Amino acid sequence: METIDVQGPYNMPMSPYVHGPAQLDIIATDSGILEAYSCFRWRQRVLTPKTSTTNLIWFSADLEFVTLMLEHFRVMSCSALISVVYFVDPLNHVSEAEARAERNEAERIVGDISMANLEFNAEVITLSELLKDTMSYSSEQYFVGENLRSYIEKPSCLDTQIEALESIRATGL
């Protein structure tokens, strides 16, 4: 693991994103995006850009919240990236066509926001499926928000969550 170079006499808060690796992906959902963004900006401000890279990966199912927040987000370093994954949960929609239409609308709306180093993807997928593909369980990922941290502690729930929801829908509580 590489070390992190810090410029200037800063008081650094004790946290995983400060003492983590030089290359770090900060991953959050809507509930943790403010903390994640502050971590993201802090690392850009004090770390040497030649030796460190910080990426913010945000999973959201709320398009209005995404567009509101993106109007205020800024990326200071050319080595940093904000990646927003807007997901349309297929379990919440009547039809696949409706879910695809919502995904296309999200791409159109966010496409109008001009921001450097922004990557936007819209997918028809559940959060559990997204996390299966994203989580590497390495020290180069920092998860913000209790719901994401619980996935780290119990990776088996990723496999059973859909079955549990379907069982509850079929039989009731």
Per-residue pLDDT of the chain (173 residues), as tens digits, is: 555 565 655 555 556 556 667 788 888 988 888 888 888 888 877 776 677 788 899 998 888 888 888 877 876 666 788 888 888 877 776 677 887 788 888 888 777 776 778 888 888 888 888 888 777 767 777 778 766 655 554 444 444 455 666 666 676 65
Strands 81-88 and 141-144: what pairing? unpaired
161 vs 158: CA distance, rounded Å: 6
CATH of 16-171, picked from 3.40.50, 3.40.5, 3.40.1130, 2.40.128, is 3.40.50
Cβ atoms 67, 113 nearer than 8 A: yes
> What is residue 159's three-state secondary structure?
helix
Paired with 144 in beta bridges are 28
pLDDT of residue 98: 81
In whole angstroms, how large is the CA radius of gyration of the chain? 18
How far is residue 27's CA from residue 15's CA, in Å, rounded to a whole number?
15
Nearest to 59 by CA among 32, 31, 89, 84: 84
Amino acid code (one letter) for 113: I
Q: How far apart are CA 78 and CA 85, in angstroms?
A: 20
What's the CA gap between 74 and 44, in Å, rounded? Answer: 11
Are the beta carbons of 148 and 28 closer than 8 angstroms? yes
Q: Which pLDDT score is estimated for 158?
A: 40
Model confidence pTM above 0.85: no
Query: What is the per-residue pLDDT for 94?
Result: 63
166: amino acid identity, one letter: E
- For the chain, domain boundaries: 16-171
CA distances from 31 to 4, 60, 91, 106 (A): 28, 9, 21, 20
